[in-house]
């Protein structure tokens, strides 16, 4: 699929849900994002000791839960013994399957699921295999085309993107990075990524990344876009997907961009 910069208003992805106002990687955060009209939701995934795919960003659960420990060294049952929400919104550790189930059942507006696999990790490439198994279980692992896919797999690790492209060629992939030479050069081509994913800082420093990606037939996914100025920048440059902690606010700012 060939992408053209400036072809459309950016689509808004809820970064770990509406994580600016709700506990990240919780169903209440994702439900709020969908209610706010997000076009997609983003999650980070890791494998537990017993092979379950959970939505946790950090290697450890200390920052985001009432417990401590390394995700890959704990079973799902052990992880479930801690609270990942707040006093008002207690939450269990979120399984990827539960997030997919919620998004697929949401009828108000179809949304894509952007799944970031974390590396380096204890179980290496097993995380990509486990993610693909979940997508196949829900019938979304073999889309008819990249544009019709309900799921996108992302990683900072080129080897992870390559594993997904090799196993599921029609599934969209994003090579994430903070160095413009890295994601704007040959790495994305080598692994067959369908999009590049610069940070907002990288995009500010290298705004030509969007046009370069479009010339190579790739979309641009930018993270994490939390200010009005940066939302307008993504709109003006032709970024296809912007990830934000505040999806409702970002959508309002995009409306302002259109009417400017």
Going by C-alpha positions, the residue among 65, 63, 100 that lies closest to residue 79 is 65
- Which of 33, 40, 32 has the alpha carbon at shortest distance from 12? 40
Query: Cα separation of 171 and 193, whole Å?
Result: 10
Distance CA 188, CA 171 (A): 15
Euclidean distance between CA atoms 247 and 221, whole angstroms = 15
Q: Using CA atoms, how far apart are residues 121 and 47, in angstroms rounded to an integer?
A: 9
Please, how many CA atoms are within 13 Å of residue 153, restricted to the half-sphere of its CB?
Answer: 35
- Helices 228-237 + 247-259 axis angle, to 10: 60
Known active-site residue 25: no
Euclidean distance between CA atoms 84 and 86, whole angstroms: 7
Instruction: Return the structure tokens found at 124.
Output: 């290496």
Based on the residue annotation, tell me whether 119 is a catalytic residue of this protein: no
DSSP string for 86-123: -SSS--PPPBHHHHHHHHHH--SS--EEEEEEPSS-TT
Which of 6, 25, 57, 235 does the annotation list as catalytic? 57
At 167, list the tokens.
């196993």
Whole-number Å distance between alpha carbons of 10 and 4:
12
Which residues form the catalytic set? 15, 57
């Amino acid at each position: 699929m060939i992408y053209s910069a400036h072809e459309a208003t950016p689509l808004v992805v809820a970064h770990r849900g509406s994580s600016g106002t709700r506990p990240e990687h919780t169903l209440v955060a994702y439900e709020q994002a969908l209610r706010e009209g997000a076009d997609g939701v983003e999650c980070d995934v890791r494998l537990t000791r017993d092979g379950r795919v959970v939505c946790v960003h950090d290697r450890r659960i200390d920052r985001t839960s009432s417990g401590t420990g390394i995700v890959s060294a704990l079973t799902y049952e052990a992880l479930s013994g801690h609270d990942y929400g707040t006093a008002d919104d207690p939450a269990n550790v979120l399984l990827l399957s539960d997030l997919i189930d919620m998004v697929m059942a949401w009828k108000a507006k179809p949304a894509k699921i952007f799944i970031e696999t974390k590396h380096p990790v204890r179980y290496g490439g097993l995380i990509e295999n486990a993610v693909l198994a979940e997508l196949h279980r829900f019938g979304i692992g073999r889309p008819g085309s990249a544009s019709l896919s309900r799921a996108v797999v992302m990683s900072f690790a080129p080897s992870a993107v390559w594993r997904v492209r090799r196993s599921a060629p029609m599934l969209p992939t994003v090579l994430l990075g903070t160095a413009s030479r890295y994601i704007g050069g040959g790495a994305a081509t080598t692994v067959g990524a369908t999009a590049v994913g610069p940070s907002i800082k990288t995009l500010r420093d290298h705004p030509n990344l969007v046009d370069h990606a479009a010339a190579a037939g790739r979309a641009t996914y930018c993270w994490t876009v939390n200010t009005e100025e940066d939302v307008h920048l993504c709109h003006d440059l032709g970024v296809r997907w912007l990830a934000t902690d505040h999806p409702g606010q970002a959508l309002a700012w995009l409306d302002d961009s259109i009417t400017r």
